[in-house]
Structure 1
Amino acid sequence: MTTPILLGISGSLRAEATNTKLMREAARLFGDCTFVEGDLRMPLYDGDLEAAEGVPEPAQVLARQIAEADAVIISTPEYNKAPPGVLKNALDWVSRVEGRPWTDKPVAVMSAAAGRAGGERAQMILRACMVAFRPRILQGPEIHLAGSSKEFDEDGRLTGEIYVRELTALMVALRAEIGR
């Protein structure tokens, strides 16, 4: 088998976001792969903008990255009990691109949040938002990193044994899903 392409999407734009750290840790634990990070910086979805100018280049790039990836990791924060608007906006734009890049794509969803639920609600809503795209979203193990700012060392590595064990198991399952 060739080296798999793994696309990581963090639902947070902050430079030191724990969801970006979690996404990168997942890629490290996934093992040998070509890891690509998606960029969610794009204009807000607007049908008039699309009609006038077409799908913006950043959305087209993300759609190509999804299509070319063998698997995708999405790590979402929880803002006001839901995924952040930047993540939903990117999903909306990608849905407007020709083709169906998400169809049958293995996807691992995870979340990191400051609260004690670790982004559980955001993850549940994100999974529901993706149903229309028909990816193969792994059902577990579920990763809900609670109190996330305290769960990484200075190198961005997870420190909690249970989180490392569960994230490793999720990445093993994602790698196996590529071969299905």
Structure 2
Amino acid sequence: MSELNIAVLVGSLRAASVNRQLAEIALANLPEGVNASIVEGLGELPFYNEDIDVEGSVPAAVVPVREAVAGVDAVLLVTPEYNGTLPAVLKNAIDWLSRPYGAGALSGKPVGVIGAAMGQYAGTWSRQDTRKSVGIAGARVVEDVEIGIATLQLDEAGVHTDAIVGQVTEAVRVLADSVAVTV
């Protein structure tokens, strides 16, 4: 069997964000036979507008993001919670990746959603809204990939505790296993 490829999209643009750290933990602890990379450039995507999403003249920033996601077997979305929902940068990326309708880069792909946020609910609303949005966009949401970390409860080790590393590693394994189910 060939190697499995996963694209990781991070909903926070801040370089030192906890969610970026979760994505990096995922990359550092991949199961055997799995490759993954963070898709960069989400902050450069223009707001989705069907008027500019025209074959042959799609904005330049969109092309590598679409190609990166189209060329993988699964997608891992790592999201903070902004004002009770997913961040605009991640929602905008989902919108671009859902087009063309019925044949977008997300169409039929297994997608897992994890994240960290301030507060006692650890970004539950953001992860729910992200799963809803990506599912409507045509992806196959892997419900068993679920990690919510309340950043207010992190100690001096931050997200680099054995428990969190184990949760992230398990989430990626479950996502990778879901690909084998659909092949």
Q: Scaled by the length of structure 1, what TM-score is found?
A: 0.85
In structure 2, the residue matched to 1:136 is: 140
1:4 maps to 2:4: yes
Q: Structure 1 stretches (4+) deviating beyond 4 angstroms?
A: none
In structure 2, the residue matched to 1:64 is: 67
Equivalent-residue separation in structure 2 for 1:135 and 1:94 (angstroms): 10
SS at match of 2:91: helix
Preserved CA contact (<8 Å) 1:8 1:74: yes
Equivalent-residue separation in structure 2 for 1:76 and 1:54 (angstroms): 30
Q: Percent identity?
A: 30
Deviations along 1:89-130, one digit per CA (max 9) or x if unpaired, are: 111122234733212212110011122211110000111111
In structure 2, the residue matched to 1:126 is: 130
Match of 1:93 among 73, 96, 104: 96
Preserved CA contact (<8 Å) 1:18 1:149: no
Going from structure 1 to structure 2, the CA distance change for 1:148 and 1:96 (only over 3 Å counts) comes to farther
Equivalent-residue separation in structure 2 for 1:152 and 1:56 (angstroms): 42
Deviations along 1:40-85, one digit per CA (max 9) or x if unpaired, are: 121122344446x832122221111111112211000100000001
Going from structure 1 to structure 2, the CA distance change for 1:157 and 1:166 (only over 3 Å counts) comes to closer
Q: Which of the pair is proportionally richer in helix?
A: 1
Q: What is the number of residues matched between the two proteins?
A: 177
Equivalent-residue separation in structure 2 for 1:82 and 1:62 (angstroms): 22
Equivalent-residue separation in structure 2 for 1:2 and 1:46 (angstroms): 37
In structure 1, the residue matched to 2:180 is: 179
Letter in 1 for 2:38: E
Q: Which runs of 5+ in 2 are unaligned?
A: none
Equivalent-residue separation in structure 1 for 2:92 and 2:173 (angstroms): 29
Equivalent-residue separation in structure 1 for 2:48 and 2:16 (angstroms): 26
Q: Which runs of 5+ in 1 are unaligned?
A: none
Match of 1:158 among 157, 160, 164: 160
Q: Which of the pair is proportionally richer in strand?
A: 2
Going from structure 1 to structure 2, the CA distance change for 1:151 and 1:102 (only over 3 Å counts) comes to farther
Going from structure 1 to structure 2, the CA distance change for 1:138 and 1:48 (only over 3 Å counts) comes to closer
SS at match of 2:61: helix
Equivalent-residue separation in structure 2 for 1:50 and 1:70 (angstroms): 24
Q: CA RMSD in A?
A: 2.5
Equivalent-residue separation in structure 1 for 2:85 and 2:17 (angstroms): 17
